[in-house]
Amino acid sequence: GENVEQHPSTLSVQEGDSAVIKCTYSDSASNYFPWYKQELGKGPQLIIDIRSNVGEKKDQRIAVTLNKTAKHFSLHITETQPEDSAVYFCGGATNKLIFGTGTLLAVQP
Amino acid sequence: EAGVVQSPRYKIIEKKQPVAFWCNPISGHNTLYWYRQNLGQGPELLIRYENEEAVDDSQLPKDRFSAERLKGVDSTLKIQPAELGDSAVYLCASSLDQGGTMVVDTQYFGPGTRLTVL
């Protein structure tokens, strides 16, 4: 079955800097890759997703890139703000969504 | 538009007691999921419903866990009896089946129920 690995487990950046979180997946049949943001005491919130027929997707300060050959995808957050601080989860899916172990992002003001 | 609603938000019980969680999905969403999220981990799927039918319950510990979605709308997840290791956040999610070749649709999560078993 699918296995998704996520790095780093923690990431601290200064406000205004960029943050990059990387994930790798094992099943070459995976075709859907969402990213969720989870704040303390809340459920995961979808922030961006990408399907395997595109290589990059952007939404304001957030972008995701997908390299199907290498089986990895990344989340890029530019001009980080303190409110971006949260745990971020990547996911990979064929017929079932498998999540990574999460990255705790801390944006220092 | 209201999101996924879950109740209760928190539950503390003693081991061997039963517990139930309730979920109301986003209106019109035919697919409903129950996930378990252990501390410091990503969510793990327990069961997926398409309308009233449980189409994937391979990860549901059937000796103590049960779920139902009788009218294809809201759902209940039950644990009986609860064990210490069941302490976790139980998340409900829903999606709209778009059909076609894209099997996994975008999932929207509720706030979860944090269960503590003492």
Q: How confident is the model at residue B1 (pLDDT cuts 50, 70, 90)?
A: low
Q: How confident is the model at residue A2 (pLDDT cuts 50, 70, 90)?
A: confident
pLDDT, one tens digit per residue, over A5-48 is 999 999 999 999 999 999 999 999 999 999 999 999 999 999 99
Tell me whether A99 touches chain B (CB under 8 Å).
yes
- Between CA B104 and CA B71 the distance in angstroms is 23
CA distance B35 to chain A (A): 11
Distance between first and last Cα of chain B: 37
Please tell me the predicted confidence (pLDDT) of residue A42: 93
pLDDT, one tens digit per residue, over B13-54 is 999 999 999 999 999 999 999 999 999 999 999 999 999 999
**How do the residues of chain A divide into helix, strand and coil, expressed in percent and rounded to 5?**
5, 60, 40
Q: How confident is the model at residue B100 (pLDDT cuts 50, 70, 90)?
A: low
- Between CA A106 and CA B7 the distance in angstroms is 30
**Residues A46, B40: C-beta atoms closer than 8 Å:** no
Taking 90 as the threshold, does the pLDDT of residue A95 lie above it? no
Instruction: Nearest by CB to A95, from B43, B103, B111: name it.
Output: B103
**Residues A34, B43: C-beta atoms closer than 8 Å:** no
Please tell me the predicted confidence (pLDDT) of residue B104: 76
Please tell me the predicted confidence (pLDDT) of residue B105: 83
Tell me the average pLDDT of chain A. Answer: 95
Contacts of A54 in chain B (CB under 8 A): none
- Between CA B90 and CA B87 the distance in angstroms is 9
